[in-house]
Amino acid sequence: MVMDYAAIEKDVANLPVTPNMPDYEALCGSWSWDAIRAELARPDGLVNQAYECIDRHALGASRDKDAMIWEATDGSIERYTFEGMRKQSNRFAGVLKGLGVQKADRVFFFADRIPELYFAIFGTLKTGAIAAPLFSAFGPVPVAERVRRADGIGIVTTLRLLPKIEAIRDACPSIKWVMVIDRNGDPVAGQNLDYQQLMAASSDEFAIERTGSEDWSIMHFTSGTTGLPKGAAHVHEAVTGHYATGKYVLDLHPDDIYWCTADPGWVTGTSYGIFAPWSNGVTQVIYEGGFGSAKWFEIIQRHKVTVWYTAPTAIRMLMKAGTAIPQRFDTSSLRYCMSVGEPLNPEGVIWGQEAFGLAFHDNWWQTETGAIMIANYPCLPIRPGSMGKPFPGIEAAIIDDEFHEITEPMREGQLAVKHPWPSMMRTYWNDKERYDSRFKGEWYITGDRAKRDADGYFWFIGRDDDVINTAGHLVGPFEVESALIEHPAVAEAGVIGKPDPVAMEIVKAFVSLKDGYEPTEALRRELIGHARARLGPGVAPREIDFLPTLPKTRSGKIMRRLLKARELGLPEGDTSTLED
């Protein structure tokens, strides 16, 4: 069991910065969500994430403080103050109003990490519309599925990604307009809207739409084992959870320089790459590019990053590169490092100490929870491999299959959270039945299995379903199978997650071919290329095996569990429903 690793003790009194939460038990005992709400502005009852993150600071003492330090892939750097971001987001809100965007309309974002993406998301929230960010590495098919699912009315994208949008435009009849950002300043051709041109003609003052705590704000899509991706919709009240966890889990202080490496197309990149840091009024670094071990430590050195939030996959890739790379750079500014996306193995927790003198603090939450639910904190010992303890105001439990709480230490069961809490999703868009299925009485059923030790630390076991966690991204087998079946050679497809030392899991597919096709290496490469073109490299299978037929139940459902058991040499379990 991972508990064999020695706990990493803390001397809170000698930490370089006194934590916002110096005593976990004391804060839990005195916790009040209303007290947290009172620390936010909410002028005249307005509850709006853009106001709390940007305008609240721009209209106060932090007006001229840097909110964003943006570094492009070419190394150029741009800085934007809270006042600058207030004006830019106001301009975009005015642009949307001019296009007739109404409260609760769904506006999609398909762009890399560029400043305009952040201006536009905040501007959308100011209009009362729903912002729906998408991962920029998606292929056309995942984009179309998500836009159709939510009846999106518009897409904001870049010139580089525009061909993917053009490929699915006719398949998304709800789309009224496509807006293109071209940072080179060249006019946008054709029927598409020109972001720069519209922004230049818009006012930098805007009266924020009257939004309340339960008005919609942002939507993220999370994959399931069957059916289309689910649109988890959140409300403006979620900022209460973002602010609180930013203060007490991220331990953000006014003079911090914070860096979250997650893309805004995933919920970590919004909850903790947008809302938590800026609601706490800190300066954050945003890097346009992708992973690079030397490059990342160079960014920490150049911008004097103090608080760093990244993913286990990235940590494992850094580990693979060795400790020599971080030791070439000055990382002395770092005081606190965290990880999220999947369980961080104990070696990853400890490696930070070897590389730059700081252990990584793991935490657990989901797209559906909206904010961190269970965490390791600066004031508590780390038990390597553990998710940590529940956040104050959050009641987490291990429950049995009859939804009764298990109090016996280290007994496995379903991980559940007592609802409600401020940042929880309020629905799966256009799928209330599936949303309701996630709640049993007072419990939200997470779909994860875990254990809790005698001291209240939680330990992740695995997922109840077939969702694949690859490099911190959840991939639904169904959408990969669907893309493969589109190829004329494929009769059936089954997809599993295969354990991988770096990405946690990779997507592996099993296909049976139609008559007239032979299982050749050339066809294997062709299928992988087909899936990459349709889904994007982060979702497409890395491996494909050919089988004469796939194991199915008598009702015709492909038994992914059996595919995985056979791939990994595990017991096949009950096969009574297997097709003869």
Q: DSSP letters along 231-270, please?
A: EEEEETTHHHHHHHHHHHTS---TT-EEEE---TTSHHHH
* 503 and 362 within one domain: no
What is the pTM assigned to this prediction?
Answer: 0.89
Residue 123 in any domain: the answer is yes
Give the pLDDT confidence score for residue 576 in this predicted structure. 46
246 in a structural domain: yes
Report the CATH number at residue 493.
Answer: 3.30.300.30
321 located within any domain: yes
CB 109 within 8 A of CB 119: no
If asked whether residues 369 and 472 sit together in one domain, one would say no
Is the residue at 499 inside a domain? yes
Q: 545 and 430: one domain?
A: no
Range of the domain at 491: 468-568
549 and 417 in a common domain: no
Residues, the chain: 580
Are 380 and 362 in contact by the 8 Å Cβ rule? The answer is: no
- How far is it, in rounded angstroms, from Cα 580 to Cα 577? 9
- Judgement on whether residues 213 and 291 belong to the same structural domain of the protein: yes
Please indicate, yes or no, if residue 226 is contained in any of the structural domains: yes
Is residue 108, in this structure, part of any structural domain at all?
Answer: yes
φ and ψ of 166, to 5 deg: -60, -30
pLDDT value of residue 4: 65
Residue 172 in tokens: 């998304």
Residues with pLDDT less than 70, the chain: 1-4, 224-227, 553-557, 574-580
pLDDT (0 to 100) of residue 461:
81
Phi then psi for residue 384, to 5 deg, are -55, 130
Q: What is the pLDDT of residue 313?
A: 81
Give the residues across from 462 on adjacent strands: 449
Name which of 146, 115, 149, 148 is nearest 133 in CA terms: 146
Q: Do 32 and 177 belong together in one domain?
A: yes
Residues 293, 392, single domain; the answer is yes
Tell me if 88 sits within 8 A of 203, measured CB to CB. Answer: no
Q: Are residues 253 and 176 part of one domain?
A: yes
**Is 458 within the bounds of a domain?**
no
In a domain? residue 456: no
Q: Is 576 exposed, middle or buried (0-12, 13-18, 19+ CB in 10 A)?
A: exposed
Same domain, 210 and 287: yes
Around 571, how many Cα atoms within 13 Å sit in the side-chain half-sphere? 2
Last residue of a domain, one of 416, 449, 482: 449
Q: In this predicted structure, what is the pLDDT of residue 2?
A: 45
Whether 37 and 181 share a structural domain: yes
Residues 406 and 504 in one domain: no
Give the Cα separation of 221 and 309 in Å (integer): 22
Domain count, the chain: 2
- Which segments of 51-98 does DSSP mark as H helices, in order? 56-58, 82-98
201 and 337 assigned to the same domain: yes
Question: Residue 81's domain is classified under what CATH number?
Answer: 3.40.50.12780
